[in-house]
Amino acid sequence: MLSFILIFIASLFFVGIIGRTKSILSGRKGPGILQPVYDYLRLFGKGSVYSKLTTPIFRVAPVIYFSSMLFAAFLVPFGNSKGLLSFEGDFIVFTCLLATGKFFTILMAMDTGSSFEGMGASREALFSMLVEPAFFILIGSFALLTGCTSFYDIYSAFHFSGPVSYALAGLAGYVLLLIVAIENSRLPVDDPKTHLELTMVHEVMILDNSGFDLGLIMYAGSLKFAVYGALIANFFMEPSWGYYGAVPIFFAVQLLSAIIIGCMESFSARFRMNHNAQFIFTLTSVSLLIFFGVLLMN
């Protein structure tokens, strides 16, 4: 339960810290850190508008997308505390939950009959397909190293025992950070602030969503940032630490992750669409480095 509470708190600030970092680096005052929360609450208080051409899939997809992200958060542990749900092979269920949410989001976009939203859906499906091998190789490598197949057991059995283990944790954090940037369609694969339909990915998929449904979709993205931040933070927590040591590390990693993403979006431009696949494939290469490092430690 503690893990989910901390993830929920981090999700309220993560996107705001990204925006605040970008504002500071560009010399603007910018919105406050809690501005995304105000936007979510404003949308939750509004009704949704549905086209007569859409089917019930369009109405249930935002709820399924948010629910899949919520249940994925239940699987993430925190230090010596298990997640609300913990069992052997839960990291596979974690990936399946995210894939289910993404699948219904794609169906929702295609259900509108818009060629633009179908184009964005095909791009997001491609990016998700290319990024999955990196995640499975990453978590599978640590499962091989520790001999465990659940998030809690993997993190509990992983100890820093030399420079190789520190390098593995650092590379794992790098891969997970870029994975969540790709999964949330952020720079350098997509620009969340663009308004040109031909170059949009995630934003063009939710053009027809409004009110409460749009709020669910937007907050699910913030929750995804916090969940992956929690996965990164767990690599740097020793099982012997108490809550007084683990909680500051958790929020420090979340803060650092948000600042890094903000810096990436401030100093990098979006790749050309045909270069995105090459960039995503590099994450699989880094995950393979982690796998070879695990072989060295065994």
Q: What is the dihedral of CA 41, 6, 33, 196, to 10 degrees?
A: -70
How many CB atoms within 10 Å of residue 77? Answer: 24
Domain span at 204: 2-297
Kindly report which listed range (6-15, 161-170, 177-186) carries the lowest average pLDDT score: 161-170
Chain mean pLDDT for the chain: 90
Q: Is the pLDDT of residue 239 over 70?
A: no
- Amino acid 197: pLDDT: 67
Cα–Cα distance between 247 and 296 in angstroms, integer? Answer: 32
- Amino acid 201: pLDDT: 82
Mean per-residue pLDDT, 71-89 = 90
pTM: 0.94
- Amino acid 38: pLDDT: 96
Q: How confident is the model at residue 256 (pLDDT cuts 50, 70, 90)?
A: very high
User: Tens digit of pLDDT for each residue in 100-153?
Assistant: 999 999 999 999 888 888 888 998 899 989 999 999 999 999 999 989 989 999
Let me know: does 143 contact 154? Beta carbons within 8 Å.
yes
Q: Is 81 helix (H, G, I), strand (E, B) or coil?
A: strand
Number of domains observed in the structure of the chain: 1
Cα–Cα distance between 102 and 124 in angstroms, integer? Answer: 9
Cα–Cα distance between 293 and 275 in angstroms, integer? Answer: 28
**Angle at Cα 58 formed by Cα 55 and Cα 63, nearest 5°?**
135
User: Tens digit of pLDDT for each residue in 10-35?
Assistant: 999 999 999 999 999 988 888 889 99
DSSP string, 126-183: HHHHHHHHHHHHHHHHHHHHHT--SHHHHHHH----SHHHHHHHHHHHHHHHHHHHHH
